[in-house]
């Protein structure tokens, strides 16, 4: 991986992700796809298939076959972040998937952040038991391709649990993308995520991490892609710009890299290189990404997708 970074110094990107490990809906800020992570999360225009459930729902309609996806990361502070989903082209006019110029695709996904058990200590330092926390989202989405324009709409149910106390919320996601008629292959994308009610624990209500994102991707030469995103975290009052690249060295193999800027969103600074690779074999995509978090160590994510 280091040699790849030396040979291809242009494969860098500014990461716009805002990561979180706290209980509550801030877990929605965590990336769920290894390809997106390694490209600096500049994924609004590139989101494709089942992974689009977490980035831009319009990308669901980019597939023509059923796609099953799974992603796993050993997250910081001994927590685990997982995603599993399926994208299904719907029948239109008796043909699965319909016309390439007018196609509907449905998606279903579950995202979960699980934390390890935490011991309860009494005033005298004796053990008083333990408790676990988790956050999860169950999402349903629908996307349609109309010519070069793609639209997406989704709803999701959110649940957080801490020491037996639970909070619930519902949210809506919207997505748009379109290929442009230019000399270079260019795609633009727009997305609105987490538009909904806040999460309430006891007497405290926190707003969902509402985000507005715009992105563009294009290919300068065959096999070499660039992507640029601008993302506004509405309630955090923060705007992030991110840039990512991907280079397909040979058929079925891609090299990606990125750079984490100093975001300091969750109380710690995350800065340094991120990198990843992708493999395509037997109708299966396998993507891997690694991200440094300084004293907290590295996080690694692997994503598998299979078409049927």
pLDDT at 115: 81
> What is the structure's pLDDT at 123?
58
pLDDT at 51 over 90: yes
Q: How many residues does the chain have?
A: 308
Distances (CA, A) of 166 to 61, 159, 163: 35, 7, 8
DSSP summary character for residue 38:
H
Quick check: 88 and 55 in contact, CB under 8 A? no
**All structural domains of the chain with their residue ranges:** 15-116+131-241
pLDDT in tens, 276-306: 999 998 889 999 998 876 666 678 999 999 9
Residue % of the chain over a pLDDT of 70: 77
Q: How confident is the model at residue 6 (pLDDT cuts 50, 70, 90)?
A: very low
pLDDT the model gives residue 267: 43
Give the residue, 237 or 121, on which the prediction is more confident: 237
pLDDT digits (tens, 9 = 90+) for 173-224: 999 999 997 777 899 999 999 999 888 877 788 899 999 999 999 988 888 9
Kindly report the CA angle at 121 between 118 and 125, in degrees rounded to 5?
A: 140
Q: Whole-number mean pLDDT of the chain? A: 81
User: 32: Cβ–Cβ under 8 A, 6 or more apart, which residues?
Assistant: 51, 54, 71, 81, 83, 111
């Amino acid at each position: 991986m280091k040699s790849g970074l030396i040979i291809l110094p242009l494969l860098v990107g500014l990461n716009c992700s805002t990561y979180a490990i706290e209980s509550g809906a801030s877990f929605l800020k965590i990336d769920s796809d290894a390809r997106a992570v390694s490209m600096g999360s500049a994924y609004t225009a590139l989101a494709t298939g089942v992974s689009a459930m977490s980035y831009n729902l319009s990308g669901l309609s980019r597939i023509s076959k059923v796609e099953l996806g799974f992603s796993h990361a050993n997250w910081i502070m001994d927590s685990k972040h997982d995603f599993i989903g399926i994208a299904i082209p719907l029948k239109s006019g008796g043909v699965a998937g319909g016309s390439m110029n007018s196609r509907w695709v449905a998606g279903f996904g579950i995202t979960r952040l699980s934390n390890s058990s935490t011991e309860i200590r009494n005033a005298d330092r004796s053990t008083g038991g333990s408790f676990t926390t988790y956050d999860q989202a169950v999402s349903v989405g629908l996307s349609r391709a109309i010519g070069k324009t793609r639209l997406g709409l989704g709803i999701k149910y959110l649940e957080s649990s801490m020491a037996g106390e639970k909070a619930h919320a519902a949210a809506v996601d919207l997505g748009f993308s379109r290929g442009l008629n230019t000399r270079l292959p260019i795609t633009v994308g727009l997305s609105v995520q987490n538009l909904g009610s806040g999460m309430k624990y006891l007497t405290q209500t926190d707003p969902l991490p509402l985000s507005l994102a715009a992105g563009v991707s294009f290919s300068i030469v065959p096999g070499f892609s660039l992507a640029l995103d601008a993302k506004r975290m509405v309630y955090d009052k923060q705007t992030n710009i991110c840039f990512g690249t991907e280079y397909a060295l040979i058929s079925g193999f891609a090299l990606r890299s990125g750079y984490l800027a100093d975001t300091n969103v969750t109380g710690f600074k995350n800065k340094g290189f991120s990198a990843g690779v992708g493999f395509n074999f037997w109708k299966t995509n396998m993507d891997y990404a690694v991200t440094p978090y300084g004293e907290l160590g590295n996080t690694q994510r692997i994503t598998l997708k299979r078409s049927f």
